Structure 1
Amino acid sequence: MGFKSLRSKLIAIFVLVLSLLALATGLATLSTMKRDSEAQATEILNVATKVLRQALDIRAEQLSDSVRILAADFGFRRAVATAEQETIESVLQNHGSRINASLMLLLSPQGQLLASSDIAISMSDITPLFKQTVSGSNTTVADIIILNGQPYQLVLAPVKAPALIAWVGMGFPLDAPLAQEIKSITGLDISFVTKETNSIQLKSSTLDPAYQQLLPESLPLLLQQANTPLSNTEQDYISVALPLDKLQQLWAVQHLPNQRWLSSYQQFRQQLLLIFGAALSLALLVAFIFARSITRPLDALSLFARRIGQGFDDAPPAGGNDEIGLLGTTLHTMQINIRQREQQLLYNAEHDFLTGLYNRAAVDRLLPDILAQHAGSLLQINIQKFKHLNDVLGFNNADQLLVQLVKRLQTVLPQPLLLARLGGDEFLLVYDSLLTIAQVQGKLALLSEHYQLDNSVINIKFRAGVYHFFQSQQTVNDALRRTDIALDHALSTATHIAMYLQGQDESHQRDLTLIRDLPDALQNGQFYVVYQPKVDISKRQCHSAEALIRWQHPQLGFIPPDQFIALAEHAGNIGLITEWMLQQVLCQTALWWQQGMQVQIAVNLSVHDLLNPALTDNICSLLNQYQLPAAALALEVTESAIMQDADTVVRQLSQLRALGINLAIDDFGTGQSSLAYLKQLPVHEVKIDRAFIKDIENNANDALIVAATTQLAHSLGFSVTAEGLENRAGLPKLLHCGCDKVQGYYFAKPLQADNFSQWLLQFSTDNQSWFTAESIA
């Protein structure tokens, strides 16, 4: 069982709380018991001290009584008075024997030792006690003193007849027998210790010999802290020292065995540990049962939740009325809601919200099986000019139109294998038969007419692309791409229906390759610029040219400009081409101007360039960079570009004209509204499209159009350039029509910069070969 599981955590918490509680209780109880036991031990020692002092006091009273009796004895007083030494010693011996006194003394009133039962005792030993008699000669004196190295409890009493004639004393030794006697009374061991100036000596003790050897180490501290119980870790006793004499030279040390006060404490501690161990074992058992009762339902719920997450539809585990049961009910409800939500999400993910048809995601899922198992046709249709219908009808009516169209797709036409809305107004129908153009026309005829919208009848037209697929030969991406290619080609057919033809996919892939490679091609030298002269035929001079871009692809070879320019406009990369072109052209033009060849070079702009608000600033910056006047640059714009957003284009051209840049309308005559806007355009030049020039010598209508256009342009203040002159025969016609400049293969094909420089030099020195008398007659 890992500690990360809930069961282990519950058990751990339960046991930890119980252990902490038991530990706190045990520590508090044991601490209290220990303090109580220590207090009891102190009390025992205090009682023993009192008993010791009381025992010594009783002995002192016995000695005092015996001494006073002896001092009052008539015979003894007479013997003392008459100095009968033998009688004195006999009396002292007799009286000492009666009370078992070990020492009998007789002193003169001046303190001289007259008689003693111990001949080893000297006068100097008695002096400390005798000094206590000076203050009161009629009073008995008792003290404990050391005589000849042995502690004695000694009493002195005055002998009077009637005046003081002597002092008589009796004493008991404080030795091992006394210690044993006191131990028998107190129940404690006792040691007698003498303390001299620089040493402490153990005189007698009831302790075991082993403990007696350890006692001297602790005596200094015991004597220093008198009457205070102290314990020693090396001894199993608590000891207390008390002085026995007034000079504190004799001490009694009482010893209380630790076992007497620790036994109950240790016994209780052992019982407490047993109780704690039993409680902990019981707690473990209860915690395990309790945790299991919680975790087993939770494990079942967890498994149930995991299977819900994996998509299994299981019955919920049995639950009760507690929170776990409520959780199980909640999970079951969640399972039902999730299943419903998944079904709804799955439906929404694969169905169009407006029409309810399959969407592109569903097509990606379902179409592979169809392509693998069938041979047939993919039919993709869309409504022509549907954006215009949206603008005219409004979005709500346009949506209603799509809904009605879907109903017809589902009911009027034969049911396809798959019907889906790919987006907007595009629908995909998959059939298991190879459709013909006639069959598609029949289907579209059923869909085209009589749509009721706001009490109006609407007829719509369709564009359709058809792709025939064969079993297990196509991927979904290939099939849809080829169907879309066919739909694009339907724009150029009369029926607006097109079949996918072999090779169109390769052309489409080629276009994608060109779009992909174009940005890098601009950087790695695949593009280059050529220049085609624009000859002033009236002055027979050439001071201008048109710059044209060329692309030599390393794999695909030469790419015609009309191909990659259109692709760049669709892909949004035309700005890159224009920026590169202006850089290259102005750099080359600056070089020519430095060489004395002041030519004006024209660059074509697309509608995307004219809609760029930064165009004027960018061109001005480039002119400043290459130190060229604005007259060195000309810009050409097609009529179709102007028509897309005339107001914006006119404002942009006005800004460029204000810089001093020459502006021209390219391919004039091919637009639909050229005359209406011509008077508003801030341009300098009109270039007549080559469609009217290439056959002008043979087509009188072309000549009339060119003449009329030239006259109109001149009347509006524009110069006229004719594009596409390819032979000598057309030159007189253009001179007759009044054209100012001519551009075409007759004078020169588009030339690279070095070749253009050579051609320009040749033309400036010998231009008569182009203008013979026959050609201009």
Structure 2
Amino acid sequence: MFDSLRSRLILTLLSLLTVLAIASGLATLTTMKQDSRQQAEQALQVAANVLLQALDNRATQLNNSVRLLASDYGFRRAIATAEQETILSVLDNHGSRVDAALAVLFSPEGQLLASTNPALSSTDFSSFFTQGQSRSATDFNDIQKLGDESYQLVLVPVRAPQTIAWIGMGFQLDQQLAEQIKGITGLDISFTNAGGPSAVANNSTLASHLQPSVLTSLPEFKAGPQIPFSSADEQYLSLALPLDQHHILWALLHYPTERWQSSYQQIRQQLLTIFGVSLTLALILALVVARSITQPLKQLTQFATAIAQGQSNVRLPQATGEVGVLGQTLCKMQQAVQQREEQLVQQARHDHLTGLKNRTFAEQELQQILSQHHCSLILLNIKNFRHINDSLGFNSGDSLLQQVAERLQLVKPSASLLARLGGDEFLMAYPRPFQDSDALILKMQLQQGYYLDGSSLSLSFVLGIYCIEADSLPVSDALRRLDIALSNAKQLQEQYSFYQQGQDEHHQRRLTILRDLPLALQSNQLFVVYQPKVDLHQYQCDAAEALIRWVHPELGFVPPDEFIQLAEHAGLINQVTDWMLSAVIRQLASWRQQGIELQVAVNLSAHDLSNPGLPEHIASILQQHQLPSKALALEVTEGAVMRDPKQVIRVLHQLRQMGIDLAIDDFGTGQSSLAYLKQLPVHEVKIDRAFVKDIEHNHQDELIVSATVQLAHGLGLKVTAEGLENKAGLAILLQHQCNIVQGYYFSKPLTAEQFGIWLGGFSAKQNQWFTPEDIG
């Protein structure tokens, strides 16, 4: 019902008017109500001032009268001579003159000497007299409750010249006074006693049935007088005034709310009438306006619908004003949309920089190309293009990419598909097999003839080539294999490579290893084996090298070199090292509990040594298992040292200061070993197995081992020979005073349990490995 524009226009106008009318009415009524209440409060305040002024005038009248009596000589003499009848007569006569309801005489000590009201005693006046006596230098007046009545009292001392008595005189706060105040102010008044838990009306001009609803609200406002409050039945707005110092006697002024509510109700009725009439007129106006707007728009809607359906002969409806402009705009929009659709199709399918087809469109066309017989895909990459961007700027890089795109369109033979996949990678497709000669010709056509700021440049290109026979190979698989070929080409001198069968499986294997390695670390699929390190001077084994192993549930045994290298490239090597250190130190602690004290060496990678927090981490693990630092040895390769010599040497110094033995692994296979050997804080040099395994047959290997041992001993380092496989090699190593040997001659790497068994039999069967001449 409210989906049409006409309905929404009518609803909008009516809603707007309703909101405005309600807001205006509420604001008006609220302001009137607040104003009426303020006027009532002002009337109450004026009445309160009148009441206070009347009481003040009465107090002044009493005070003057009592002062006059206190200065009368005859009255003072009667007091001095204790003429009781004279005193009573004077008090009665003087009080009658001023219409006082009570006159009393007190001794200086507060004893009641005379009173015109015999029912009152000294006890009734004790509080009043005490307050007045405390102001002996001045007169005192207050309103007090005496018996069942309330009085406005004045107390004046009688001096001759010392104070010989006190005279008190008072007016009664009675119904007559209440009626007088009402006559002056026009408001009802009540004199109440609020000394107990509830207020009691002593005298009031209110009808008796109205008094409870007002008086029950008084206790809530006793703490804050001068604040008007409403009665329980909302008929009166009252103002409470305390009459005495103890706030026991109160005067309540009552303003009837009917005085302002009647006018408020009348104005509210008028506003409702005005609102109803306005709403009716607005509805009629909204109908007329909505029709005048929606009828031309309906025609334009029909015109736009016809355009959307592809109708070209539809006639534009005649209209004037904004609707006519809108119609003309729709015609122009139709033309602009057609042009923009063509542009969007172009942009969606082509690269904005080079104008070649983009990756998305190329993948769509590749699906059809892959169904052809003997097609070839070439993935082309500009070598070191990142350095061009870094050194010459991105604008120069963009210019080169545009020139490469133009050159690719000119090469012969022409490609059936040419696209830029992103960055500096371009894809070419040929509907025939691609040969080595084709790759060389393509590279020759692309390398030279580029210009930047007038200077000639030559570029180097890397080509990954994938020759495909017709099959149902998905596009994603084809691109992946093409990327594998490109990665291999970057490692080759000729800078191009054809995808070979099985490379994808190797790639998938690498991805599987990287994917499953974190889970293998968490689920303890990896384990540690230990290869004994035999001391040739002591003919005993008190050390071993820890080696990591992994038996994958699908791939089977994964060589350590394979997954460790992948872990280094993927940034997972730190997790592997943490796992290895924890496992080895935990096993060392277990062996120590069994009485087996060993030193176990763990290999560290270049990534481990670049971590400045490594020493602290190792110290925390050792401390956790309560192991001395000497129980752990660390081995680093020369290649790891060369990655960042300063950082590595800094970390190695910290590890040595902790008491951890350090060794250079695979010594002799790295670069600049002698240059850095004197700077490294190591204890041991390990000769690579390549120089040891055939030492009994290769004299050059023997010379290298001999020179290495002499060099290391000259620097104060121990020497460990790796890869010993037979007894003849052991004899040569003993001859050249090698310190430690490890290899298959003594034992292959063993599990922790197997190593414990081997270690127990090693000392008992030394003749199995050493001749008596060796030991002697």
- The reply to whether TM is greater than 0.5 is yes
Contact persistence 1:732–1:776 (CA under 8 A): no
2:243 match: none
Alpha-carbon deviation of 1:398?
Answer: 5.2
Alpha-carbon deviation of 1:493?
Answer: 4.5
- Give the direction of change, closer, same or farther, for the CA distance of 1:650–1:366 in structure 2 (3 Å limit): farther
| One-letter code aligned to 1:560 | P
Alpha-carbon deviation of 1:369?
Answer: 2.9
Contact persistence 1:308–1:314 (CA under 8 A): no
Alpha-carbon deviation of 1:351?
Answer: 4.5
1:710 match: 709
- Residue 469 (structure 2) pairs with residue 470 (structure 1): yes
- Give the direction of change, closer, same or farther, for the CA distance of 1:15–1:653 in structure 2 (3 Å limit): closer
Alpha-carbon deviation of 1:729?
Answer: 2.2
- Give the direction of change, closer, same or farther, for the CA distance of 1:465–1:319 in structure 2 (3 Å limit): farther
Alpha-carbon deviation of 1:320?
Answer: 5.0
2:367 match: 368
1:645 match: 644
- Give the direction of change, closer, same or farther, for the CA distance of 1:369–1:388 in structure 2 (3 Å limit): same
Contact persistence 2:526–2:549 (CA under 8 A): yes
Paired with 1:678 and 1:392, the residues of 2 have a C-alpha distance of: 37
Contact persistence 2:465–2:482 (CA under 8 A): yes
Q: Which stretch shifts more, 658-667 or 8-17?
A: 8-17
Q: Which stretch shifts more, 647-656 or 333-342?
A: 333-342
Could you list the per-position Cα deviations for residues 427-483 of structure 1 after superposition, in whole angstroms to 9, with x for gaps in the alignment?
221111111122212212332346555776654443322112233521111001111
| One-letter code aligned to 2:759 | L
Residues 210-225 of structure 1: matches in 2 within 5 Å? none
Contact persistence 2:375–2:430 (CA under 8 A): yes
2:657 match: 658
Alpha-carbon deviation of 1:753?
Answer: 0.1
Paired with 1:311 and 1:749, the residues of 2 have a C-alpha distance of: 82
Q: Which stretch shifts more, 542-551 or 288-297?
A: 288-297
1:735 match: 734
- Residue 407 (structure 2) pairs with residue 421 (structure 1): no
2:430 match: 431
Alpha-carbon deviation of 1:554?
Answer: 1.5
Residue 749 of structure 2 aligns to a residue in which SS? coil
1:691 match: 690
| One-letter code aligned to 2:523 | N
1:522 match: 521
1:248 match: none
Alpha-carbon deviation of 1:722?
Answer: 1.7
In the alignment, structure 2 segments of 5+ residues that lack a partner are 22-272
2:627 match: 628
2:595 match: 596
| One-letter code aligned to 2:673 | S
Q: Which stretch shifts more, 689-698 or 335-344?
A: 335-344
Paired with 1:571 and 1:373, the residues of 2 have a C-alpha distance of: 38
Contact persistence 1:729–1:775 (CA under 8 A): no
Residue 370 of structure 2 aligns to a residue in which SS? helix
1:443 match: 442
Contact persistence 1:316–1:332 (CA under 8 A): no
Residue 575 of structure 1 aligns to a residue in which SS? helix
Contact persistence 1:731–1:776 (CA under 8 A): no
Could you list the per-position Cα deviations for residues 248-281 of structure 1 after superposition, in whole angstroms to 9, with x for gaps in the alignment?
xxxxxxxxxxxxxxxxxxxxxxxxx9xx99x97x
- Give the direction of change, closer, same or farther, for the CA distance of 1:416–1:286 in structure 2 (3 Å limit): same
Residue 535 of structure 1 aligns to a residue in which SS? strand
Paired with 1:769 and 1:573, the residues of 2 have a C-alpha distance of: 43
- Give the direction of change, closer, same or farther, for the CA distance of 1:385–1:680 in structure 2 (3 Å limit): farther
Residue 422 of structure 1 aligns to a residue in which SS? strand
- Give the direction of change, closer, same or farther, for the CA distance of 1:21–1:443 in structure 2 (3 Å limit): closer
- Give the direction of change, closer, same or farther, for the CA distance of 1:287–1:530 in structure 2 (3 Å limit): same
Contact persistence 1:728–1:775 (CA under 8 A): no
| One-letter code aligned to 2:435 | T
Paired with 1:308 and 1:676, the residues of 2 have a C-alpha distance of: 83
Paired with 2:363 and 2:5, the residues of 1 have a C-alpha distance of: 46
1:73 match: none
2:89 match: none
| One-letter code aligned to 1:705 | I
- Give the direction of change, closer, same or farther, for the CA distance of 1:8–1:674 in structure 2 (3 Å limit): same
Alpha-carbon deviation of 1:553?
Answer: 1.3
| One-letter code aligned to 1:693 | V
Paired with 1:576 and 1:312, the residues of 2 have a C-alpha distance of: 67
Paired with 1:760 and 1:561, the residues of 2 have a C-alpha distance of: 25
Alpha-carbon deviation of 1:690?
Answer: 1.7
Residues 504-543 of structure 1: matches in 2 within 5 Å? 504-543=503-542
Alpha-carbon deviation of 1:624?
Answer: 0.8
Could you list the per-position Cα deviations for residues 547-574 of structure 1 after superposition, in whole angstroms to 9, with x for gaps in the alignment?
1111111222111111111222222222
1:381 match: 380
Paired with 1:19 and 1:396, the residues of 2 have a C-alpha distance of: 62
| One-letter code aligned to 2:528 | V
- Give the direction of change, closer, same or farther, for the CA distance of 1:454–1:675 in structure 2 (3 Å limit): farther
Could you list the per-position Cα deviations for residues 205-243 of structure 1 after superposition, in whole angstroms to 9, with x for gaps in the alignment?
xxxxxxxxxxxxxxxxxxxxxxxxxxxxxxxxxxxxxxx
Contact persistence 1:301–1:316 (CA under 8 A): no
Alpha-carbon deviation of 1:14?
Answer: 6.0
1:70 match: none
Q: Which stretch shifts more, 515-524 or 452-461?
A: 452-461
Alpha-carbon deviation of 1:705?
Answer: 2.3
- Give the direction of change, closer, same or farther, for the CA distance of 1:444–1:13 in structure 2 (3 Å limit): closer
Residue 524 of structure 2 aligns to a residue in which SS? coil
RMSD over equivalenced CA pairs, Å:
4.1
Residues 310-325 of structure 1: matches in 2 within 5 Å? 322-325=321-324
1:557 match: 556
Paired with 1:522 and 1:362, the residues of 2 have a C-alpha distance of: 42
What is the number of residues matched between the two proteins?
523
Residue 590 of structure 1 aligns to a residue in which SS? helix
| One-letter code aligned to 2:404 | L
Residue 564 of structure 2 aligns to a residue in which SS? helix
